[in-house]
Amino acid sequence: MTGKKANGSCNVAKNTSNDSDNENRNVYYAMEKPTYAYDDIKAIADYLMERTPVRPKIGIICGSGLNSLADSITNTQSFDYENIPNFPVSTVEGHVGRMIFGYLENMPVMAMQGRFHYYEGYPLAKCSMPVRVMKLMGVQYLMATNAAGGLNPKYKVGDIMIMRDHINMMGFAGNSPLQGPNDPRFGPRFPPMTNAYNAHLISVAHKMAKEMGISHEVHEGVYTCLGGPNYETVAELKMLRILGVDAVGMSTVHEVITARHCDMTVFAFSLITNIGALEYDSSEDEANHEEVVMVGKSRQSICGQLMCRVIKEIAKECQTK
Ligand SMILES: O=P(O)(O)O[C@@H]1C[C@H](O)[C@@H](CO)O1
């Protein structure tokens, strides 16, 4: 296997012959390069820009089971993560591991079919590194999606929660994608997060949900990301609910922090794939990833339609600017 030198200089790692080698390679990648310097990220952006004529304005991240959000993209060109130099690989079922370029509602977009999670062994800065690649390719809007467990008693499986805000639980423990030296070419040392989720796009999404006749299953709420990969205990879920959390997952927060740090406009939503058990004798099934992916697949069409409509509005607004 070709690898990367201990000082972080980059060679392209080739796929090796068997699963356990591949697994080792993932761990190797995760541990060796906890963060990426500006030039490393620029090299990835340049690699992609040399191979696609698309200059994306919108970056999309597909959550678990939501790969087909990228299916409506036209004139596509795709890159498997394993073939992009120095890119991490997806190890989670329901995350294909592919970057797609093309057009949605006439807007140039790039979409990640598969994201990186902390529990895969990747540090947070590495999980959200692709957001910086997006930025260096010209992306102005991040549209992130995820699968999440519902805590708000009004939520049902299959509902959509537009993210109004998040609670950065991992940040409470001192873990941030922005940890380490700050590169001002991306953004300031101390970025604000007051308006992390764009209020205008949230209202556009509500309007679109109304037009689609799905307002009754679309909510607005607060998401939190835990480290995973285990799902939560009853006591943990109760605590999160007391803290004001409406949906809990294992992603997105660090991507949004990275996007806001470099001044992207953010829109995000959770698909409620399961309901968190707030009592020990709850009638809710225990959370499991098969169900999460299954619900994702069964609702990806609705999620995709909502996202396309929001993008259509952005396209209209861009034209009139
Ligand atoms: O990538 P997302 O946040 O959609 O995936 C969720 C969180 C875990 O990766 C997994 C748990 O089932 O789904």
Q: What is the DSSP string of 178-191?
A: T-SS--TTT--SS-
C-alpha 147 to ligand 1 mean position (Å): 5
The pair of three-digit structure tokens given for residue 29, joined into one six-digit string: 């990648």
Residue-wise pLDDT for 140-188, tens only, equals 999 999 999 999 999 999 999 999 999 999 999 999 999 999 999 999 9
| Residue 14, pLDDT score | 36
Residues 86-99 have a mean pLDDT of: 89
pLDDT for 11 beyond 80? no
The residue among 231, 64, 247 whose CA lies nearest residue 167 is: 247
Alpha-carbon distance of 163 to 70, in angstroms, equals 20
| Residue 32, pLDDT score | 54
Residue-wise pLDDT for 235-287, tens only, equals 999 999 999 999 999 999 999 999 999 999 999 999 999 999 999 988 777 89
> 3-class DSSP state for residue 310?
helix
Please list, residue by residue across 161-172, b when 16 or more beta carbons sit within 10 angstroms of its beta carbon and e when fewer do.
bbbbbbbbbbbe
**Residue-averaged pLDDT of the chain:** 90
C-alpha 319 to ligand 1 mean position (Å): 35
> Domains, the chain, ranges and CATH?
38-181+194-320 (3.40.50.1580)
> 3-class DSSP state for residue 88?
coil
For residues 94 and 51, the model is more confident at: 51
Active site residues: 64, 95, 117, 119-120, 147, 250-251, 274, 289
The residue among 73, 118, 115, 64 whose CA lies nearest residue 227 is: 118
The pair phi, psi for residue 144, each rounded to 5°, is -110, 145
For residues 307 and 94, the model is more confident at: 307
What is the DSSP code (8-state) at residue 8?
-
Q: Which residue blocks in 109-227 are alpha helix, DSSP H?
A: 124-127, 129-136, 169-172, 199-212
Tokens 């080698």 identify what position? 21
User: Angle at the Cα of 219 (from 128 to 152), degrees rounded to 5?
Assistant: 90
Distances in Å between the alpha carbon of 245 and those of 115, 161, 225, 252? Answer: 23, 12, 10, 15
CA 151 from chain center: how many Å? Answer: 20
Under the banding of pLDDT at 50, 70 and 90, the label for residue 20 is low
| pTM score | 0.90
> 3-class DSSP state for residue 107?
strand
C-alpha 246 to ligand 1 mean position (Å): 16
pLDDT for 15 beyond 90? no
Alpha-carbon distance of 288 to 146, in angstroms, equals 15
The pair of three-digit structure tokens given for residue 242, joined into one six-digit string: 């007391």
Q: Which of 95, 115, 251 to mutate to test the pocket of ligand 1 (most atoms within 8 A of CB)?
A: 251
Residue-wise pLDDT for 274-314, tens only, equals 999 999 988 777 899 999 999 999 999 999 999 999 999 99
| Residue 167, pLDDT score | 98
The residue among 99, 78, 81, 80 whose CA lies nearest residue 29 is: 81
Quick check: CB of 270 below 6 Å from ligand 1? no
| Residue 194, pLDDT score | 97
User: How much of the chain exceeds pLDDT 90, in percent?
Assistant: 80
Residue-wise pLDDT for 178-211, tens only, equals 999 999 999 999 999 999 999 999 999 999 999 9
